[in-house]
């Protein structure tokens, strides 16, 4: 790690990138929690001013990067051969600029908050020849399915713009408790993030929250539950989970927003974790007029759990 303060100028190729992502690429191996700490303390400055973690860099910005001491204990461990093999088998699409992976449930997308090794750290270990590997978006640790990883900065910028413009379509499969009503095809309810004293992040429907919309479609009905397709129109934290909960149909296996009684019952039927799966992504690649749709199959555990439920007409 550099031992002196550095001053870096943002070139056009890095414009539009969030400062926290810029720092994580610049300070390889530094824990995310430490990145956010030096941002909060104002040790990182842009054009001599304090900025927040979500600040978007502009061409010509002058960034003050402080020296960072990396504790030996924070060195990420080596990914196991089993995890490397699993991720290799989970690649759904790849070209020169993009990877799309069927992320397994239980694997965080990045290290931090007590997690030393996530998806992106493992991919960087697997592919040391790749000079650029960055998450395009995120999935919660317990959520499985399609996630995009950019192999070029130009692809990262392009896809971020596509996401902002609503041109990337995401499709999730979720099992919810009870009978989802036929007429409920969209939930439009503002969401507000809250942080509890324990540090746990919670989201609730609140008139003062950000506008949030999710489209829902019924896929299969079971005696005590419904498999739905959820298509987020906006992209808020825990959006699908809270929108389903506010309709009285919380997701099966959701320990934060769901029903303990339902979760215990579903565990007996083989569904032992959050039933939320990023089933498909649809996007247009740069320099390619056609729309690409990539689909990810349910893992064996969720698929077997569905087989144990009594399907209704």
What CATH number corresponds to the domain at position 46? 3.10.290.10
C-alpha 53, offset from chain centre: 17
Instruction: Pull the structure tokens for residue 164.
Output: 């902002």
Helix, strand, coil in percent for the chain, rounding step 5: 25, 30, 45
- Supply the pLDDT for residue 280: 98
Mean pLDDT of the chain: 91
| pLDDT, average across residues 100-115 | 86
Q: Are residues 206 and 294 in the same domain?
A: yes
Q: Are residues 122 and 218 in the same domain?
A: no
pTM, 2 dp = 0.79
Q: Of the residues 144, 162, 180, which one is the last residue of a structural domain?
A: 162
pLDDT, tens digit, 9 for 90 and up, residues 288-302 = 778 899 999 999 999
| pLDDT, average across residues 217-235 | 96
- Supply the pLDDT for residue 30: 83
| pLDDT, average across residues 201-209 | 92
Least confident of 211-215, 217-221, 255-259, 284-288: 284-288
* CA atoms within 13 A of residue 40's CA, in its CB half-sphere: 6
pLDDT, tens digit, 9 for 90 and up, residues 22-80 = 898 888 778 888 999 999 999 999 999 999 999 999 999 999 999 887 665 555 688 99
pLDDT, tens digit, 9 for 90 and up, residues 119-166 = 999 999 999 888 889 999 999 999 999 999 999 988 998 999 999 999
Q: Of the residues 145, 162, 179, which one is the last residue of a structural domain?
A: 162
Q: Are residues 91 and 179 in the same domain?
A: no
Give CA–CA dist 100/108, Å, rounded: 16
Please count the structural domains in the chain. 3
Helix (H, G, I), strand (E, B) or coil at 225: strand
Query: What letter does residue 204 receive in the DSSP assignment?
Result: E
| pLDDT, average across residues 237-247 | 96
Q: For residue 111, is pLDDT > 80?
A: no
CB 139 within 8 A of CB 147: yes
- Supply the pLDDT for residue 265: 94
| pLDDT, average across residues 224-233 | 97
- How would residue 21 be classed by pLDDT, with cut points 50, 70 and 90? confident
* CA atoms within 13 A of residue 292's CA, in its CB half-sphere: 15
Q: Are residues 188 and 262 in the same domain?
A: yes
- Supply the pLDDT for residue 71: 60
Q: Which residues are catalytic?
A: 140
Report the chain's terminal Cα–Cα distance, integer Å: 62
| Of 59, 42, 58, 47, nearest in space to 7 by CA | 47
Query: What letter does residue 84 receive in the DSSP assignment?
Result: H
The partner residues of 229 in beta bridges, in order of sequence, read 173, 217
| pLDDT, average across residues 277-293 | 91
- Supply the pLDDT for residue 69: 75
Q: For residue 313, is pLDDT > 80?
A: no
94: left (phi over 0), alpha (psi -120 to 50) or beta: beta
Give CA–CA dist 16/63, Å, rounded: 14
| pLDDT, average across residues 76-98 | 93
For residue 70, tell me if it sits in a domain: no
CATH (domain of 83): 3.30.2350.10
Phi, psi of 60, rounded to the nearest 5 degrees: 90, -5
Q: Are residues 205 and 242 in the same domain?
A: yes
């Amino acid at each position: 790690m550099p031992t002196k303060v550095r001053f870096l100028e943002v070139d056009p190729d890095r414009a539009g990138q969030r400062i926290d992502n810029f720092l994580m690429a610049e300070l390889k191996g530094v824990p995310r929690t430490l990145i956010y700490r030096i941002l909060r303390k104002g040790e990182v400055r842009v054009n001599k001013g304090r900025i927040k973690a979500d600040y978007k860099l502009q061409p010509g910005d002058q960034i003050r990067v402080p020296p960072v001491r990396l504790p030996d204990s924070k060195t990420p461990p080596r990914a196991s051969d089993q995890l490397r093999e699993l991720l290799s088998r989970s690649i759904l699409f790849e070209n020169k600029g993009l990877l799309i992976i069927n992320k397994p449930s239980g694997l965080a997308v990045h290290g931090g908050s007590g997690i030393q090794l996530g998806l992106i750290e493992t991919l960087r270990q697997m592919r040391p020849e790749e000079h650029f590997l960055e998450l395009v978006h995120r999935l919660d640790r317990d959520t499985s399915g399609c996630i995009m990883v950019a192999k070029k900065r130009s692809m990262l910028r392009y896809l971020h713009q596509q996401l902002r413009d609503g041109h990337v379509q995401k499709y999730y499969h979720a099992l919810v408790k009870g009978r989802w009503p036929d007429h409920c095809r969209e939930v439009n309810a503002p969401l507000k993030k809250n942080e509890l004293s324990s540090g746990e992040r919670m989201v609730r429907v609140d008139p003062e929250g950000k506008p949030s919309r999710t489209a829902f479609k019924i896929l299969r009905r079971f005696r005590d539950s419904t498999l739905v397709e959820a298509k987020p129109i906006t992209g808020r934290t825990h959006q699908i989970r809270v929108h389903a909960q506010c309709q009285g149909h919380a997701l099966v296996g959701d320990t934060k927003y769901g029903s303990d009684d339902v979760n215990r019952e579903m565990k007996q039927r083989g569904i032992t974790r959050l039933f939320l799966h990023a089933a498909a992504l649809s996007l247009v690649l740069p320099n390619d007029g056609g729309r690409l749709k990539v689909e990810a199959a349910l893992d064996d555990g969720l698929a077997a759990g569905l087989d144990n439920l009594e399907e209704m007409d």
